[in-house]
Amino acid sequence: MKKVIIVDDEKSGRTLIKEYLEPYKDLVLLGEANNGVDAIKMINEFKPDLVFMDIQMPGMTGFDVLEHLEELPQIVFSTAYDQYALKAFEVHAVDYLLKPYTKERFDAAITRISEVKKIIPLAEEHIAQKNEYPERIIVQKGAKYVTLAIEDIYHIEAYGDYSKLHTETDTFISNHGISVLEEKLDTKQFLRVHRSTIVQLSKIQEVSKYGKSYQLVLFNNEKVNVSRGYADKIKALMF
């Protein structure tokens, strides 16, 4: 069973989705919202598995809503404007329904929901093609996937084939290894200081000598050692 919420500022749009959902008894509608503010409150409170979301809404777009969610459900965007398709896949949308859409096209979207693991690599491919650095990323916390603002990352730690992303008070898991993340992140913000560590420059509070290299103290009081092979990168920042 999947819990569902519908977000659309037009009543006709919400009514159509409810009608198309009727045959799917495993998709249980929890509620609907006609604006972004109510959508954020409802999604954060009820933690649905799936959200059908309009993009163009007064005051707050569907993309704006995602930035305020505590956990990221599966998203199916619906809109009358095709220029948002690429951005929809950048935020890992399961599908993108271009209004007006048919029952057959809606059914195809439901099918794609069960194939979400195949959709995510496609979204990453779109991001790579754009060659832009993301402001938010999707990472794992426990059994859930959540959105994380890049600016909140203090340092990144190698974790086998994965990586741990440390914020001021929490830790998240990325499905990518640390070398892949180094390529994906803005080098003006993030610096590799060890084979197993990347730090965000703005989070460095102090730099002190540590043997023949350096030790960094971050603003969350975490201490990070710089390996000798990366010491020159720290020296290059000293004026």
Do 123 and 17 lie in a common domain? yes
147: domain range?
A: 136-235
Contact 137, 147 (CB under 8 A): yes
Cα-atom radius of gyration of the chain, to the nearest Å? 21
The answer on pLDDT for 221 being more than 90 is yes
Kindly state the tokens that stand for 164. Answer: 């741990």
Q: Which residue has the tokens 């830790």?
A: 171
Quick: pLDDT tens for 131-159: 467 788 888 888 788 888 999 999 999 99
Q: Which of 78, 99, 129 is the last residue of a domain?
A: 129
Which residues are within 8 A (CB) of 64 and not within 5 positions of it... i.e. 6 or more apart? 36
Do 22 and 120 lie in a common domain? yes
Domains contained in the chain, number? 2
CATH number, residue 213 = 2.40.50.1020
Which is more confident, 179 or 113? 179
Do 30 and 88 lie in a common domain? yes
Kindly state the tokens that stand for 203. Answer: 């989070």
Q: Which of 65, 95, 129 is the last residue of a domain?
A: 129
Do 72 and 142 lie in a common domain? no
Q: Which of 68, 102, 129 is the last residue of a domain?
A: 129
Distances (CA, A) of 53 to 102, 179, 186: 17, 34, 30
Quick: pLDDT tens for 7-46: 999 999 999 999 999 999 999 999 999 999 999 999 999 9
**Three-class SS state of 199:** strand
Do 152 and 183 lie in a common domain? yes
Contact 5, 48 (CB under 8 A): yes
Do 160 and 54 lie in a common domain? no
Q: What percent of the chain has pLDDT over 70?
A: 88
CATH number, residue 83 = 3.40.50.2300
Do 106 and 152 lie in a common domain? no
Quick: pLDDT tens for 42-96: 999 999 999 999 998 888 889 889 888 888 888 999 888 767 666 666 666 888 8
Do 44 and 119 lie in a common domain? yes
Do 202 and 100 lie in a common domain? no
Do 81 and 143 lie in a common domain? no
Do 88 and 46 lie in a common domain? yes
Do 152 and 115 lie in a common domain? no
Which is more confident, 4 or 67? 4
